[in-house]
Amino acid sequence: MKTKKILVLGGNGKTGRRVAALLETQKDVEVRIGSRSATIPFDWEKPETWLNALQDIDTVYITFQPDLAVPTAPEIIQKFTTLATQNGVEKMVLLSGRGEREAQVCEEIVKETSKNWTIVRASWFNQNFSESIFLEPVSAGFVALPKADVLEPFTDADDIAEVVTEALLHEKHNGKTYELTGPRLLNFEQAVSEIAKITKREIIFQAVELEDYVKMLREYQVPEDEIWLVNYLFTEVLDGRNSYITNDIEKVLGRKAIDFTEYVLKTSKTGIWNKVNQLS
């Protein structure tokens, strides 16, 4: 059987490293990590790195940083996917934003330029609370967020990675768009409350105006591209448009999606939320 060579862009990120780990357990699969620190470097901002990373690759998992919604994304995705197809890539799986109209422009580019494609849409990850921007506030015991009452079906990165891996490996997913959600709707305050309850810690939640939140992020010296993305998500996406559940995870994996409580129970055992001293 021919070895399938798969390039995982963002191979050190939340979904990318999980996808790479799953692929490395497969027979007849060779995984190449696409990142600036990889043996064969890949950098979205340096197109001169793209061709070497694509050499002899059959399939690509595309995650774009910071987000497909940024104004420069369509042009970059157009150039990359065109180059990939011209150099023998047979299939691309794109991680897209659920409910992001701007991201859908990039989806259409992938569909037009790829020989075969699968689109995987997701929005807020469970892991935003343990591997991303909400980790420090949760650890410190004080979380202030805007749009506190909007319901979101938080999706687990492990589920996303499994769906992506299935799409990368099996042709039956060609031409499909999957919209992934967790099995339950929660608002941010409810999510933080679950973490507090399970970790037996006091975590204060405070609803704030978006402009005050952005100001606070700047005071904490959060990078401007992350602030732009957070501002975009809270203004353009977190308006209730994603406040519904799908069964696409179950459809692809044959099992229920991971519930937020299940994620919190598992993550709490790592002690990540108890490392308050990491903030000082």
- Cα 160 vs. chain centroid, distance in angstroms? 8
138, 195 Cβ separation under 8 angstroms: yes
234, 213 Cβ separation under 8 angstroms: yes
DSSP 8-state assignment for residue 224: H
Spatial separation of the C-alpha atoms in residues 63 and 101, rounded to whole Å = 17
Q: Is 255 helix (H, G, I), strand (E, B) or coil?
A: coil
Q: Where residue 226 falls among pLDDT bands split at 50, 70, 90?
A: confident
pLDDT in tens, 257-267: 999 999 999 99
Kind of pairing between the strands at 204-207 and 116-122: unpaired
**Average pLDDT along the chain:** 95
| Nearest 10 degrees: Cα torsion 99, 104, 110, 116 | 50
Q: What pTM value is reported for the model?
A: 0.95
Q: Quick count: other Cβ atoms within 10 Å of Cβ 179?
A: 19
- Residue 7 forms beta bridges with which residues? 32, 60
Q: Which helix (H) or strand (E) holds 93?
A: strand 91-97
pLDDT score of 224 more than 80: yes
pLDDT in tens, 184-198: 999 999 999 999 999
What percent of the chain has a predicted confidence (pLDDT) above 90?
A: 88
pLDDT of residue 280: 36
Tokens of 267: 């993550």
Q: Residue holding tokens 């492990």?
A: 158
pLDDT of residue 276: 54
Tokens of 88: 């023998």
Spatial separation of the C-alpha atoms in residues 42 and 51, rounded to whole Å = 9
218, 227 Cβ separation under 8 angstroms: yes
pLDDT in tens, 21-64: 999 999 999 999 999 999 999 999 999 999 999 999 999 999 99
pLDDT score of 278 more than 60: no
- What is the Cα gyration radius of the chain? 19
Residue 152: C-alpha distances to residues 16, 19, 237 (Å):
23, 24, 11
